[in-house]
A = this chain, B = another copy of it.
Amino acid sequence: MKSEWKTENSEDKFHDECGIFGISKHPEAARITYLGLYALQHRGQESAGIVTLNNGQLNQRQGMGYVADVFTDKNLASLKGTAAIGHVRYSTTGESNLANAQPILTNSARGEMALGHNGNLLQADKIRQELEEEGAIFRSTTDSEVMLHLLARSRLPDLGDAIREVFGRVLGAFSLVLATPDGIWAARDPFGVRPLCLGKLDGGWVVASETCAFDLIGAKFVRDVNPGEAVHMHGEHLTSWTIVEPRETAHCIFEHVYFARPDSKVFEKSVHASRYQMGQQLALEHPVKGDYVIPVPDSGATAALGFASISSIPFQFGLIRNHYVGRTFIEPKRSIRHFGVKIKLNPIRELLENQRLIVIDDSIVRGTTSKKIVEMLRNAGAAEIHMRIASPPTISPCHYGIDTPTYSELIANQMSVSKILQYIGADSLAYLSVEGMKKAVGAEVGFCSACFDRKYPLPDTPRTPQKELFELHRT
């Protein structure tokens, strides 16, 4: 049986759904975009696409899989042009097909437009239904196609005006890039839920979901695209306007907990610093005696260092990661073991035997991986296992562009901490508090932490189905 690795392991995390990139002026715009997407690959591995602008015409290339697989020297060479946008996409299984790959390229009365976005429209289904009732047809299930319909239908002749009209009205979390014969455009919702950074490279302008993309191409970070702002990047020129007055920001705090790369600045703050401080805060809130602090690689590593720095307990690499784990893995047919975690992580028995371990992970979603890790460490001879989670219990799904399980799959919505402890089989378990987490990112307000506290900051966010809720942690 060929089992997709992600069903076993990566899926036991929340997932970002996209990374976006744009550049307004560069002799090798396609190759620079390729590099940008390469750096943003962690934000989406299902499909990748680039659209370039060449003499008023848009050229497209997209495919399923990794950036390194979709693009070749030859097909990048055919993507001529001096401006470009790019997109990497993660997707839940059901919707996984090429028709949903972005940027989506269309023709309309506005001419050619290509759009890629990160985020989620709150009323996409309703808008889609309204559009269909007016005769629209849809070939994908993406919000990008909805956005393109709205832009095509706006009566305002100027695209900038149309962007203001359309995106000033729709509700949701979105950071987007748009290519037209007139250049590259970018915009961000008024709450600034999803990140979008603005930079300069060799006289042209660049936008990207995270600054790590700028580091690779050698671009200089200028500032974030502001919440509610749109920009038009035409060669060396940048025009900015407000599409809608910004509200109190609702930056996604999970970008700092898990999604973003630690070498990125997101929402103008170092992700590494946030995670280190989450680990420190965790040590302050939930101290425990032990011989070693060990991270669940790689996402727990930075927080584990922070935890160790406060607790003065030595940090060790107790679980070793196999660097050659591919996307698929074939299990023995009659096996009763599940190889999911085992193929990826292996404990060092010599180090761990008879030791009291403090194991740091960034989050627990379904709990299945944590359970297997505890088992694995027990088998390696650990004397005690104390799980410490560098974020609060995840009790609520995201409606703003993150792939999260349903209420019933979120273990922390179904069980009390003591029941979770019992399920995963550790000796103790503790989570960082919501307040501690906010302290670590350095802001009491301005962040969305709805997946931890159910306080959805955007109006008209779908009401939580009551029967799915399980009230324990927040009381």
Question: Which of B67, B69, B272 is within 8 Å of A350, CB to CB?
Answer: B272
Q: Are A326 and B31 in touch, CB under 8 angstroms?
A: no
Q: Is A171 an interface residue, CB under 8 A from the partner?
A: no
**Is the beta-carbon distance between A218 and B337 smaller than 8 angstroms?**
yes
Chain B residues with Cβ below 8 Å from A350 are: 265, 270, 272-273
Interface presence of A351 (CB below 8 A)? yes
Q: Roughly how many angstroms separate A441 CA and B107 CA in the complex, as a whole number? A: 43
Partner of A320, one of B1, B38, B67, B263: B263
- 9-residue interface stretch from A281-289, A309-317, A442-450: A309-317
Q: Answer whether residue A467 sits at the interface, using C-beta atoms and an 8 A cutoff.
A: no
Question: A212: nearest residue on chain B (CB-CB)?
Answer: B346
On chain B, the residues within 8 Å of A272 by CB distance are: 317, 320, 348, 350-351
Identify the stretch in A136-144, A237-245, A387-395, A396-404 within 8 Å (CB) of chain B at 4 or more residues.
A136-144
Do A66 and B326 form a contact, CB below 8 Å, given A315-B315, A342-B216? yes
Q: A152's contact among B137, B298, B351, by CB below 8 Å, is which?
A: B137
Q: Is A215 an interface residue (CB 8 A)?
A: yes
A228 in contact (CB, < 8 A)? no
Q: Known contacts A298-B323, A346-B212, A350-B265: does B333 contact A28 (CB below 8 Å)?
A: yes
Q: Among the listed B31, B41, B326, which residue makes an inter-chain contact with A330, where contact means beta carbons less than 8 Å apart?
A: B31
The answer to whether A343 touches B309, judged by C-beta atoms less than 8 angstroms apart, is: no
In the complex, identify which listed stretch (A70-78, A180-188, A427-435) lies at the interface while the others stay far away.
A70-78
* Contact pick for A106, options B137, B153, B315, B342, CB 8 Å: B137
Check A203 for interface membership: any CB of B closer than 8 A: no
Name the CB-closest residue of B to A110. Answer: B132
Binary contact readout A80-124 vs B (1 if CB under 8 angstroms, 0 otherwise)? 000000000000000000100000111111000000000000000
Q: Shortest Cβ distance from A256 into chain B, in angstroms?
A: 13
Determine whether the beta carbon of A73 is less than 8 Å from that of B2: yes
Distance of A33 from chain B, by nearest CB (Å): 11
* Contact of A35 with B314 in the complex, beta carbons under 8 Å: no
Residues of B within 8 A of A347 (CB): 263
Bound Cα distance A343, B106 (Å): 33
Select one of B106, B216, B298, B322 contacting A346, CB under 8 A.
B216
Sample of 28 A–B contacts (CB below 8 Å): A1-B73, A27-B334, A31-B330, A31-B333, A34-B330, A42-B323, A45-B324, A68-B329, A71-B330, A73-B330, A105-B139, A106-B139, A107-B141, A108-B135, A109-B135, A134-B153, A135-B149, A136-B137, A137-B145, A216-B339, A216-B343, A218-B337, A261-B322, A263-B320, A263-B348, A272-B317, A272-B350, A302-B317
7 nearest CB pairs, A to B: A135-B153, A68-B326, A270-B350, A41-B324, A263-B320, A109-B132, A106-B137
